[in-house]
Amino acid sequence: MSKLLNDEQLVMQLRESNKRAFEEIYDRYWYKLFCISYHQVGSREESEELVHDIFESLWNKRSDTEIRHLGTYLVMAMKYRITNFIKSQITWRRYQEYLILNKIQETYSTDEIVQFSDLSQAVDEVMRKLPEKTSKVFQLSRFENHSVKYIAEEMNISEKAVEYHITKSLKALKDNLWMYHSSN
């Protein structure tokens, strides 16, 4: 397929299930979409997966979607996909946090394995083993109830970095406090 075709011609051919038109669109826009995604997500693997999802959706909806400006359409679809991905990551992190806190509450309420003070000391010990910045972010987030935005501004780091440190803290707690989980 010639690169002389403009986006409108490619979209028309795509609607007719022309695989070469799809390949041309992919070649023209993959890198731009990857850069947008990588800038927001910060992970090569996740960014590649999100871009793949965009093109898979484009192919699957090729005959149903009315596309007037291909570049704009793809960029907006990418931004929408990134937003949903970030929301799902936050939801996943909160779910992990819920599981950990639920385990702590179960342990406290059943009192079968240890006293709450022992668990509290174990949490403190895990926090001391973490890098100082990670521990500080977790302290501000979970014990002082500050928002991600506030912590990012306070510590002069990005919101993504705050999310990273919180996730790292939760993983450390989960990995190190499993023995406090009651089977009840």
| Distance in angstroms (rounded) separating the CA atoms of residues 29 and 27 | 6
Position 96 scores a pLDDT of 75
Domain boundaries, the chain: 7-84, 111-180
Q: 7-84 has which fold?
A: Rna Polymerase Sigma Factor; Chain: A (1.10.1740)
| Helix 159-176 / helix 116-129 crossing angle, nearest 10 deg | 130
Which CATH architecture fits 111-180?
Orthogonal Bundle (1.10)
* Single pTM value for the model: 0.52
pLDDT at residue 65 tops 90: no
Distance between CA atoms of 181 and 184, rounded to whole angstroms? 9
Reply yes or no on whether the pLDDT at 114 is more than 80. no
Residue type present at position 99: L
Mean pLDDT of 42-64: 91
Q: How many residues does the chain have?
A: 184
Place 58 in a pLDDT band, splitting at 50, 70 and 90. very high
| pLDDT tens by residue, 163-172 | 888 888 888 8
